[in-house]
């Protein structure tokens, strides 16, 4: 078993060492992805992605250290990212063993700095007037009580996002007791948003106010103009520091739908709605689709088309959150896991290089942790919480390639100047008495 793991890690590493280089299937001895795939994700594109990351994700810092002797060795270490790398935290406390739950929790803070918390009204308040906020509430799969998750994230400094205040899809959104009366629903929506605002205040920093509103005609009865109203209520009841998002449309969808989404959002903004971010989803749910992607046969996620769709949203002048990311493997073999990892790596790099993207959230963190109809092996961990190649990819990007760390010597002007990824840094040096000194700075 150890030998097999070694071989897989060796293959995985060698693939990504050469990931910047255009290749044909014949040139790649592991035959993980096809020549057609690498033709889309070619060397010219990879260089453009690198350029975008350098231009948009880094900043130049100049720090005066007047009390530090020129020539002193300064260690510069990035502690946190300004960019949000998140995951949904939907199976918090629900895995098979305490050790698995502990490892799952540890992922938030070591890999992810943001967590999407499930606030689906249908399971949050299955019985009217008896919401499942507190620890010890009844068990619902993928819908743990919300108070303990908020406490956990706040204690660890994890950015919290509530998903969602209102979701018009009856399957997941409305409690079964919701009446089919638009006027009554209006008052219930207002009361629901006020209740969440009063309970959580600014302890939850972001909210998806309305989830997937543009196809509401096919999703069930809702109050007239409910999207506008929900944003107005949220802005009224939540503290001004809380950020309010709209979320809709899968990047698979035709570009016309992205234009419609942008138009809806611009209409809301023109009417005085305060929207802080626009969210976009990316769900590769079908294993056959993942296989087609590896063969270069899926035109819907070509990098050119993905960028064009982001350009539609950029026209709203709102920062973009890639709010829900599912990358299913074509199968559970070692080869299939590598396909998942390569797809994920290229998508994350493309999104990280886009100027107005500010967050990326992996959806189902553990295999088998999805809702009914979602793939059972789209996690970065397998069902036993073993790390998959996709985990290694994200960890390599977030904690290594996209973190700045180095040692330099202070110049004669006693000024430290460097270019690094945006975030919080720790500077460490020894003073003239040999005593360790430290200072934290923000690069933005």
Please give the Cα distance from 87 to 110 (Å, whole number). 12
Find out whether 341 and 388 touch, Cβ atoms under 8 Å.
yes
Q: What is the reported pLDDT for 217?
A: 87
Q: What is the reported pLDDT for 1?
A: 42
pTM: 0.93
Q: What is the reported pLDDT for 8?
A: 43
Q: What is the reported pLDDT for 218?
A: 87
Domains, the chain, in order of start with CATH, read 82-400 (3.20.20.80)
Please give the Cα distance from 348 to 357 (Å, whole number). 11
Q: What is the reported pLDDT for 420?
A: 98
pLDDT tens for the chain, 444 residues: list them: 433 433 344 344 444 434 433 343 333 435 799 999 999 999 999 999 999 999 999 999 999 999 999 999 999 999 999 999 999 999 999 999 999 999 999 999 999 999 999 999 999 999 999 999 999 999 999 999 999 999 999 999 999 999 999 999 988 899 999 999 999 999 999 999 999 999 999 999 999 999 999 999 889 899 999 999 999 999 999 999 999 999 999 998 999 999 999 999 999 999 999 999 999 999 999 999 999 999 999 878 899 999 999 999 999 999 999 999 999 999 999 999 999 999 999 999 999 999 999 999 999 999 999 998 888 899 999 999 999 999 999 999 999 999 999 999 999 999 999 999 999 999 999 999 999 999 999 999
**pLDDT, tens digit, 9 for 90 and up, residues 402-424:** 999 999 999 999 999 999 999 99
């Amino acid at each position: 078993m150890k030998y097999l793991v070694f071989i897989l890690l060796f293959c995985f590493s060698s693939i990504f060492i050469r990931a910047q280089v255009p290749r044909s299937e014949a040139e790649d001895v592991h035959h993980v992805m096809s020549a057609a795939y690498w033709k889309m994700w070619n060397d010219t594109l990879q260089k453009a992605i690198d350029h975008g990351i350098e231009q948009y994700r880094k900043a130049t810092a100049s720090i005066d250290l007047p009390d530090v002797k020129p020539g002193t060795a300064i260690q510069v270490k990035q502690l946190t990212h300004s960019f949000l790398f998140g995951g949904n935290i939907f199976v918090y406390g629900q895995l098979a063993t305490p050790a698995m739950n502990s490892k799952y929790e540890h992922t938030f803070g070591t890999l992810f700095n943001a967590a999407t918390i499930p606030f689906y009204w249908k399971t949050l308040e299955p019985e009217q007037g008896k919401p499942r906020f507190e620890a010890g509430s009844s068990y619902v799969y993928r819908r743990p009580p919300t108070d303990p998750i908020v406490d956990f994230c706040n204690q660890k400094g994890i950015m919290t996002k509530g998903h969602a205040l209102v979701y018009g899809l009856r399957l997941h959104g409305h409690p079964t007791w919701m009446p089919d009366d638009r006027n009554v629903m209006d008052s219930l929506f207002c009361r629901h948003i006020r209740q969440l605002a009063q309970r959580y205040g600014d302890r939850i920093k972001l909210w998806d106010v309305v989830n997937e509103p543009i196809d509401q005609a096919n999703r069930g009865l809702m109050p007239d103009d409910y999207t506008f109203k929900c944003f107005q209520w949220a802005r009224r009841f939540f503290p001004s520091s809380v950020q309010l998002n709209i979320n809709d449309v899968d990047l698979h969808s035709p570009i016309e739908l992205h234009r419609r989404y942008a138009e809806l959002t611009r209409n809301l903004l023109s009417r005085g709605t305060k929207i802080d971010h626009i969210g976009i989803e990316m769900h590769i749910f079908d294993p056959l689709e993942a296989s087609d992607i590896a063969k270069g046969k899926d035109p819907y996620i070509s990098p050119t088309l993905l960028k064009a769709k982001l350009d539609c949203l950029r026209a709203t002048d709102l920062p973009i959150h890639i709010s829900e990311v599912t990358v299913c493997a074509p199968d559970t073999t070692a080869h299939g896991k590598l396909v998942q990892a390569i797809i994920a790596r290229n998508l994350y790099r493309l999104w990280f290089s886009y100027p107005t993207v500010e967050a990326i959230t992996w959806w189902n963190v553990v295999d088998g942790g999805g809702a009914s109809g979602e793939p059972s092996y789209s996690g970065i961990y397998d069902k036993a919480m073993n790390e998959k190649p996709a985990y290694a990819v994200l960890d390599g990007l977030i904690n290594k390639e996209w973190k700045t760390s180095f040692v330099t010597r202070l110049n004669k002007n006693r000024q430290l100047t460097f270019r690094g990824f945006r975030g919080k840094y720790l500077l460490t040096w020894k003073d003239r008495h040999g005593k360790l000194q430290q200072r934290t700075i923000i690069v933005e």
